[in-house]
Amino acid sequence: MTTSTQPEPLVAPPGLAGVIVADTEIGDVRGTESFFHYRQYDATQLARDVSFEEVWHLLVRGHLPDAAELDDWRSTIARNAVLPSDLAANLVEVMRRSASDDPLVSLRTAVSALGALRGDRPLWDLEDQEKELAAIRTAAVVPWLVTAARQVRLGEQVRDPRPELGVVGSYLWMLTGEEPRPEHLRALGRYLCLTIDHGFNASTFTARVVASTGADLSACVVAGIGALSGPLHGGAPSRALDALDEIGTVENAQPWARAQLAAGQRVMGFGHAVYRGLDPRSELLRETATELGGATAELAVEVEREVVRVLDEAKPDRPLRANVEYYAGVVMQSCGVPRDMFTPTFAVSRTVGWTAHILEQSRGRKIIRPSSRYVGPPPSQPVPTVEERQSGASPV
């Protein structure tokens, strides 16, 4: 009798927590250090000092662009942000026929339709330059797709992009119909840069799994959107702002937090799956919200202080601090972004991160195919006949 020399597969912890599943050059999250980076740069420093387009270039092409490269890169994005009129009209009709109250449902439908109407080819069949162009063409049009879907749902006129305003300015224009103010461009640009990528989160990993099959780029992005649509992943900015509304005044902050803990509820906007302490994105967004000013920003800062006191008292062994979602809603609302567009705005930036990961994954030629552990009944039982199944009797 021969014995198998194949090693037993390792059993991963639930959620693959702490398991390294791939190598990447795009970035990393160091949760215990409250630090994350895009390639060789501190991500929060990038968000503070450079434009969204420059970070996009860094993720896709591996370096920050010089002046000439940046002009060419912005021109490439601008060309692809505006769809041919017939394609735009077809997509608007798709949105009209499939209108949903959930913006991410509309977005994934629109991206799928975009890929079909463009005739996307499998990544497996494309050269590197063709893959990059497919990535840019998709990510560049997502700002229009999310705003157009909302306007169709509300019965409003769909606004065309204005690429001369840049990605952030054009998005704000399409969303609000108003000329974007400099402080709003700066604030929303910071938010988008901070959320463009964040390690192997659920949606990024999902997009990479699909990319490993050689599927077309739109299919990979749709998969990422599907993962993002889950309430455990992308839906928290509006919920954190809803919690601020519920609290109302700083005096209510501690009683509210204690009531949430007593009920076993999550304290929205606090704690993170990776960070064991400060979320560096929250620190820059707190600063940004304070710069924008307003009653909501002032309340958010005061409530954060009081809620942290309650959390420190209740969970002294695990510091829970404000996460990116806590101030994200405050910043976006101050910039004129409606609450129902908080998560789609997140998708505008994260699509760029997804496409960078999709490109990186597509350079490999091996499908992601983990094993599972079967925990059902042993497979040695005889198959029951129809009569035995009907009577409930077990076969001998």
Which residues are catalytically annotated?
A: 272, 325
Q: For position 394, what pLDDT does the model report?
A: 59
Q: Which residues of the chain have pLDDT under 70?
A: 1-7, 235-236, 393-396
Which two tokens mark 80? 């692809």
pTM assigned to the model: 0.92
Domain contains 380? no
349 CB contacts (<8 Å, ≥6 apart)? Answer: 52, 191, 192, 193, 195, 196
Looking at residue 259, which CATH number applies to its domain? 1.10.230.10
Domain contains 7? no
Helix axes 128-154, 103-118, angle to 10 degrees: 130
What is the per-residue pLDDT across 7-30, written as a single tens digit (0 to 9) for each? 677 787 887 877 888 899 999 999
Which two tokens mark 17? 């927590």
Residue after which a domain boundary falls, among 290, 314, 333: 333
Q: Are residues 253 and 163 both part of a single domain?
A: no
Q: Are residues 123 and 240 both part of a single domain?
A: no
Q: Are residues 172 and 198 both part of a single domain?
A: yes
Q: Are residues 227 and 247 both part of a single domain?
A: no
Domain contains 14? no
Give the whole-angstrom CA distance, residue 235 versus residue 240. Answer: 9
Q: Are residues 319 and 348 both part of a single domain?
A: no
Domain contains 222? yes
Q: Are residues 256 and 307 both part of a single domain?
A: yes
Domain contains 386? no
Q: Are residues 72 and 152 both part of a single domain?
A: yes
Distance separating the N- and C-terminal Cα atoms of the chain: 29
Q: For position 41, what pLDDT does the model report?
A: 98
Q: Are residues 169 and 310 both part of a single domain?
A: no
Domain contains 131? yes
Domain contains 388? no
Structural domain range at position 290:
236-333
Q: Are residues 262 and 223 both part of a single domain?
A: no
Say if CB 103 and CB 146 are below 8 A apart. yes
Q: Are residues 215 and 243 both part of a single domain?
A: no
Domain contains 368? no
Q: Are residues 119 and 185 both part of a single domain?
A: yes
Looking at residue 82, which CATH number applies to its domain? 1.10.580.10
Q: For position 1, what pLDDT does the model report?
A: 44
**How many domains is the chain partitioned into structurally?**
2
Q: For position 232, what pLDDT does the model report?
A: 77
Q: Are residues 133 and 268 both part of a single domain?
A: no
Which two tokens mark 342? 């908080």
Closest by Cα among 351, 294, 350, 333 to 172: 333
